[in-house]
Chain A
């Protein structure tokens, strides 16, 4: 099996690479590439993302044919794809970080700044927070409710259809932190930095 981590110059993805390689060992081949043919032929795709919504969308657009290839992979072929952090946020129709930017539109909704209640809550939301699992998600197999995950973000994904939400976390409000829609998975938190429990989520995705 081949799992491709899309390397589209979206900032630092070393931790993502290291964690997937740790989990995969020799069982699964992990590719790190922006190569369209390799993405097309892989069984699963991981879409990381750091920095702003706009910078990540711009970086995707900078690689000719990448968005079309991802659309085909996730929407037409319906193969499993995991978005992490801004990778998840880009599933939305639109994001408001820096400036209004069109997203991939895979899961209808928007990405807005977390309401910090006039400075009562610090932003970014950095650190370990517990997840409330609200629906069975394949990537949460053997993950206990209220497990701690590592977060670092200032924007949140607000999907229109609440049925896609698989987990939330409590901060200044109830924040969507995981989604599942058919073959599309996303986590706002960083499984690659969430210790053993995070590696378990990665293993669940790889084992789908």
Chain B
């Protein structure tokens, strides 16, 4: 039976982890390579890096981080943030990323998704959808949540599937950082709209939220950042909890 995945996400800025695990035995708590290794040893089903480097001159640092990580972690590595072109994707994959997640570029130029999925295969193309509720629908935001495209998130999800996305990473902007749980309504609506796997993101504050994301939101995978940081919960605890709730996980 296929297992539901738990994916810890690390925000990386200028090559350093912004919010990270606060383990005393870490040689360098800000080193994304060290943290990724801890997660993969701890049973992470995949690792996700979100590069939030703002300045262009520091953009290339992420390639070095990805290269070092992929030599030490042997679970799938997804990298997102700042990807503009097929060439950017090519570089990340060559450095050892297994998948890339594309956000703004997918909205602005859907050809990026079409061309890259054709060139590298759908299996490595994740489209990241940042959605915010407006009335009875959700709208897609770009540029790290700053710009409203006005596009309907459900229609967009379907279109991205048709363009060749292999997975959708759906983040509720209303919930992100709130720790009150995923936007279950959004997750389940998108999941029933498309036939590709949906990764739920944004709002996890406790382990029950992970359960809800899978059971109620029908997500194939759950992504979380802060609950795994500062040692609040370990991946092992999360998996054992999901298992106790009857959710198939890799233990």
Contacts and interface: CB of A to CB of B under 8 A. Distances in A.
A193 B250 contact: no
Nearest to A122: B197
A96 interface: no
Interface residues of B, number: 32
B46 to A, nearest CB: 8
Given A22-B71, A193-B76, A126 B197 contact: yes
B5 A193 contact: no
A171 B74 contact: no
B41 to A, nearest CB: 9
Contact of A171 (B2, B4, B96, B167): B2
A127 B71 contact: no
B98 A15 contact: yes
Interface residues of A, number: 38
A198 interface: yes
A124 B124 CA distance: 11
A152 B120 contact: no
A89 interface: no
Contacts of A199: 74
Given A11-B93, A11-B120, A18-B71, 16 more contacts: A12-B97, A14-B94, A14-B97, A122-B220, A123-B195, A124-B122, A127-B45, A127-B221, A151-B2, A152-B123, A171-B2, A192-B74, A193-B75, A194-B75, A195-B40, A195-B75
Interface of A: 11-12, 14-15, 18-19, 21-22, 50-52, 55, 116, 119, 122-130, 148, 150-154, 170-171, 192-196, 198-199
